[in-house]
Structure 1
Amino acid sequence: MNQNENIVDSEIRRLLKQFKLPDIHDRFNEEIGRAVEENLGHRAFLQRLLIVEEQGKKERLRRKKIKEAHFEQHKVIEGFDFRFQESVNQSKILDLASLSFLDKKENVILVGPPGVGKSHISTGLGMKACEAGRSVLFANAIELMDYLSECLEKGTLRQRLKKLLKVDLLIIDDLGYLKMDKEKESIFFQLIRQRYEKKSLIVTTNLPFNRWDEIFTNELAAAAVLDRLLHHAHVISISGDSYRVNKKLEEVLDA
């Protein structure tokens, strides 16, 4: 590269930085080399550069959304063992993975004993939403309600609920292990009521619906929550053995 080419190259890089085109900036010379090898015309070369930037922006957005979601583990739908959990309707889960339920402001409720894959499926659906550029928050039920109770004490609950309403998909994990008092029950009802027909929820629980009065203070409170939660919902009931226990037994037997 001669002196004039160096000057031009530096100016191009300056402008790419100025206009915040980092992927073209990083791969400019590489793409020039490919264009020369393939004898690309100017339009085709420009198109390729723009595709490089588009793909880079999508990947950065995906990583950002996944980080902001606070998943406990990074699980994907493609990694779910449908052969082990035969009670899970694979076509139904793959349909949910298309995210049509998000567009329709519908909920997903995953019910089943510990270890059968509820959190895996909920996380996998959340990851799909992140890849589509949607905002997601994954929260353990006990930790979420403790936090919202603290917000109530500090006088910031209203602002926090408004912020949660902006999240496209809220995932509440392990609801069955939560035992609410009147205060938390009221907060939870506000959370569900605000998202009703506006934004989607995914809830995982080990308790069947006829035992939700164990979570809330009475049957009436449980019914009020279930009424809104289930009105526009996909209920996935999972039975069978714990995947984690089965895996551990395999390890012991193979040892």
Structure 2
Amino acid sequence: MNEATLDKMRKMKLLGMYRAFKTDLETPTDAAYTPDEIIAHLIDAEWDERQHRRVEQKIKNARFRYKAALEDLHYNTGRNIDKNQIMRFADCSFIDKAECILITGSTGIGKSYIASALGYHACSMGYKAVYYNVPKLFTQLKMSKADGSYLKEIGRIERQHLLILDDFGIQPFDAQSRVALMELIEDRHGKGALIITSQVPVNKWYDVIGEQTIADAILDRIVHNAHRLELKGESMRKKRVSENELIN
């Protein structure tokens, strides 16, 4: 009977319940459980399994640059990372309030890792997030206009609780990209959270965006009341290479 029950659980895709029941059968105990305790135990196992799968699917859909975790951040490296500030971000209230986080600093300093870690954490808390490299995003949007899928791409971005734009300003915006950026920012303003990473200081973003009227409109929505992380110090990638050379 137990094998038949396990087979039905598997076919019904009750994988959490299946694993819990199978484990119980393989590790017998003298403890006596009431029927409601047994049911609660199996339901809890199934609930946990489905929650885990939802989080994993959110992470897969987000396509983060790094597999990153907030608990793995290093705060004692002279990079000007405020642990208290990061922990405040960890409650995800900035997502609930549709706020912006701007992370700036030189190449290799850890901007993308921090953004990815915040995104991973948001997914674990049940939020939907998506990561884009900015130059690749706007190339993709140009192609989508050509093949008629532009609105579908924009709609996918709009549905996310958190949008991460990485490597903002690595190359100047052309006229078409400026308009697309304006549409993205306008659609998210007050509705969805945003994390932007950039090697370019915020006060230079006008030059990167170009066309002052559009730049004013975009930056007014991005920079006003944004949380700022201005990372300093040497490249973490170069530091790791130097440490490996010393070891070898």
TM-score tier by shorter-chain length is over 0.9
Q: What is the CA distance between 1:228 and its match in structure 2?
A: 0.7
Q: Which stretch of structure 1 is more off in the superposition, 225-234 or 66-75?
A: 225-234
Instruction: Report what 2:139 is aligned to.
Output: 146
Specify whether residues 114 and 30 from structure 1 end up closer, same or farther in structure 2 by C-alpha distance, changes over 3 A only. same
Q: Which stretch of structure 1 is more off in the superposition, 38-47 or 115-124?
A: 38-47
Q: What is the CA distance between 1:178 and its match in structure 2?
A: 2.6
Tell me the secondary structure at the aligned position of residue 177 of structure 1: coil
1:91 aligns with 2:87: no
Tell me the secondary structure at the aligned position of residue 215 of structure 1: helix
Asked if structure 2 preserves the Cα contact closer than 8 Å seen for 1:212 and 1:219, the reply is no
Specify whether residues 35 and 42 from structure 1 end up closer, same or farther in structure 2 by C-alpha distance, changes over 3 A only. farther
Tell me the secondary structure at the aligned position of residue 169 of structure 2: helix
Specify whether residues 46 and 219 from structure 1 end up closer, same or farther in structure 2 by C-alpha distance, changes over 3 A only. same
Q: How many residues align?
A: 248
Matched ranges for 1:86-125 at <5 A: 86-125=79-118
2:234 to 234, 241, 244: 241
Specify whether residues 208 and 86 from structure 1 end up closer, same or farther in structure 2 by C-alpha distance, changes over 3 A only. closer
**Structure 2: gaps of 5 or more residues:** none
Tell me the secondary structure at the aligned position of residue 221 of structure 1: helix
1:208 to 198, 201, 204: 201
* TM-score normalized by the length of structure 1: 0.90
- The whole-number CA distance in structure 2 between the counterparts of 1:77 and 1:101 is 16
- The whole-number CA distance in structure 2 between the counterparts of 1:164 and 1:198 is 12
Q: Which amino acid aligns with 1:90?
A: K
Q: What is the CA distance between 1:248 and its match in structure 2?
A: 1.1
Q: What is the CA distance between 1:12 and its match in structure 2?
A: 2.5
1:82 aligns with 2:83: no
Asked if structure 2 preserves the Cα contact closer than 8 Å seen for 1:112 and 1:237, the reply is yes
Q: What is the CA distance between 1:144 and its match in structure 2?
A: 0.4
Matched ranges for 1:1-255 at <5 A: 8-17=1-10, 19-32=12-25, 36-255=29-248
* TM-score normalized by the length of structure 2: 0.92
Aligned-residue RMSD, C-alpha = 1.8
Q: What is the CA distance between 1:213 and its match in structure 2?
A: 2.6
Asked if structure 2 preserves the Cα contact closer than 8 Å seen for 1:105 and 1:197, the reply is yes
Specify whether residues 224 and 253 from structure 1 end up closer, same or farther in structure 2 by C-alpha distance, changes over 3 A only. same
Q: Deviations over 1:121-148 (max 9, x none)?
A: 1000000111122211111010001001
Specify whether residues 85 and 181 from structure 1 end up closer, same or farther in structure 2 by C-alpha distance, changes over 3 A only. same
Q: Which amino acid aligns with 1:55?
A: D
Larger Rg belongs to: 1
Q: Which amino acid aligns with 1:25?
A: Y
Q: What is the CA distance between 1:33 and its match in structure 2?
A: 5.6
Q: Which amino acid aligns with 1:165?
A: E
- The whole-number CA distance in structure 2 between the counterparts of 1:162 and 1:133 is 20
Q: What is the CA distance between 1:32 and its match in structure 2?
A: 4.6
Percent same amino acid at aligned positions?
Answer: 26
Asked if structure 2 preserves the Cα contact closer than 8 Å seen for 1:180 and 1:217, the reply is yes
Tell me the secondary structure at the aligned position of residue 110 of structure 1: strand
Q: Deviations over 1:172-217 (max 9, x none)?
A: 1010203111111001110110011011111101111221133212
- The whole-number CA distance in structure 2 between the counterparts of 1:183 and 1:176 is 15
- The whole-number CA distance in structure 2 between the counterparts of 1:168 and 1:140 is 18
Asked if structure 2 preserves the Cα contact closer than 8 Å seen for 1:141 and 1:178, the reply is no
